[in-house]
Amino acid sequence: MNSKASLWALQLVKYFMVSKGYLQVSVVSNFKIEKKEIDYWLVNEQNQYFPIIHISNDSDQERTGKHPFISATISKIRNLIKSETGLILDISFNENSTDFFLTDIQYIKLQPNIDVMQPILESFPEIATVIYDVDNVEAEKKEIQRDLAIRTLQSNKKAKSERKKLNFKESFCLSFLLPAIVSIAIFIAIQIFASAYKTSLLNSAIIFGAYYKAYITIFHQIYRFLTAGFVHTSFLHLLFNLMALFDMAIIAEKYYGKNKTLLILTLAIIIGNVCIFIGNGNIIAVGLSGGIFGIFGALIVMFAFKGYFKIPAFRKQIFRTIYMNIIISLMPGISLLGHLGGFVTGIMLGMIFATNSSKSLRINSLICSIIIAVVLGYMSFTYKDFNEFYDGTDYEISQLYQKMNLDKIARKYITETQKYYKGE
* Rounded Cα gap, residues 90 and 110, in angstroms: 10
Return the pLDDT at 270.
Answer: 97
Are β-strands 88-92 and 52-56 bridged in parallel, bridged antiparallel, or unpaired? parallel
Residues in the chain: 424
* Rounded Cα gap, residues 273 and 22, in angstroms: 44
Tell me the domains of the chain and their CATH numbers: 2-166 (no CATH), 174-388 (1.20.1540.10)
Return the pLDDT at 328.
Answer: 73
> Which tens digits make up the pLDDT trace of 105-164?
889 999 888 888 888 888 898 888 888 888 888 888 888 888 888 776 766 565 555 444
Cα 70 from chain centre: 27
Q: Which of 192, 179, 198 is nearest to 287 (CA)?
A: 179
Cα 303 from chain centre: 10
* Rounded Cα gap, residues 301 and 350, in angstroms: 6
* Rounded Cα gap, residues 355 and 74, in angstroms: 25
User: Residue 280 — left, alpha, or beta (φ > 0 → left; ψ -120 to 50 → alpha)?
Assistant: beta
Residue type at 363? I
Residue 24, beta-bridge partner list: 42
* Rounded Cα gap, residues 128 and 202, in angstroms: 63
Are 43 and 79 spatial neighbours (Cβ–Cβ below 8 Å)?
no
Are 131 and 111 spatial neighbours (Cβ–Cβ below 8 Å)?
yes
Are 387 and 281 spatial neighbours (Cβ–Cβ below 8 Å)?
yes
* Rounded Cα gap, residues 288 and 236, in angstroms: 13
Q: Show contacts of 323-328: CB within 8 Å, 24+ apart.
A: 325/293, 325/296
User: Residue 82 — left, alpha, or beta (φ > 0 → left; ψ -120 to 50 → alpha)?
Assistant: left
Are 109 and 99 spatial neighbours (Cβ–Cβ below 8 Å)?
yes
* Rounded Cα gap, residues 380 and 217, in angstroms: 10
pLDDT of the chain along its 424 residues, tens only?
Answer: 567 888 999 999 999 988 888 888 876 555 444 556 788 899 988 888 899 999 999 998 888 878 777 877 888 888 777 777 788 999 999 999 999 887 778 899 998 888 888 888 888 988 888 888 888 888 888 888 888 887 767 665 655 554 444 444 455 788 999 999 999 999 999 999 999 999 999 999 999 999 999 999 999 999 999 999 999 999 999 999 999 899 888 888 888 889 999 999 999 999 999 999 998 888 899 999 999 999 999 999 988 887 777 777 667 777 787 777 778 776 666 788 999 999 999 999 999 998 767 788 889 999 999 999 999 999 998 888 887 888 889 999 999 999 999 999 999 998 898 888 887 6
Return the pLDDT at 167.
Answer: 47
Return the pLDDT at 294.
Answer: 96
The 3-class secondary structure across the chain, one letter per residue, is CHHHHHHHHHHHHHHHHHHCCCEEECCCCCCCCCCCCCEEEEECCCCCCCCEEEEECCCHHHHHHCHHHHHHHHHHHHHHHCCCCCCEEEEECCCCCCCEEECCEEEEECCCCCCCCHHHHHHCCCCCCCCCCCCCHHHHHHHHHHHHHHHHHHHHHHHHHHHHHHHHHHHCCHHHHHHHHHHHHHHHHHHHHHHHCCCCHHHHHHHCCCEEHHHHHHHCCCCHHHHHHHCCCCHHHHHHHHHHHHHHHHHHHHHHCHHHHHHHHHHHHHHHHHHHHHHCCCCEECCCHHHHHHHHHHHHHHHHHHCHHHCHHHHHHHHHHHHHHHHHHCCCCCCHHHHHHHHHHHHHHHHHHCCCCCHHHHHHHHHHHHHHHHHHHHHHHHCCCCCCCCHHHHHHHHHHHHHCCCHHHHHHHHHHHHHHHCCC
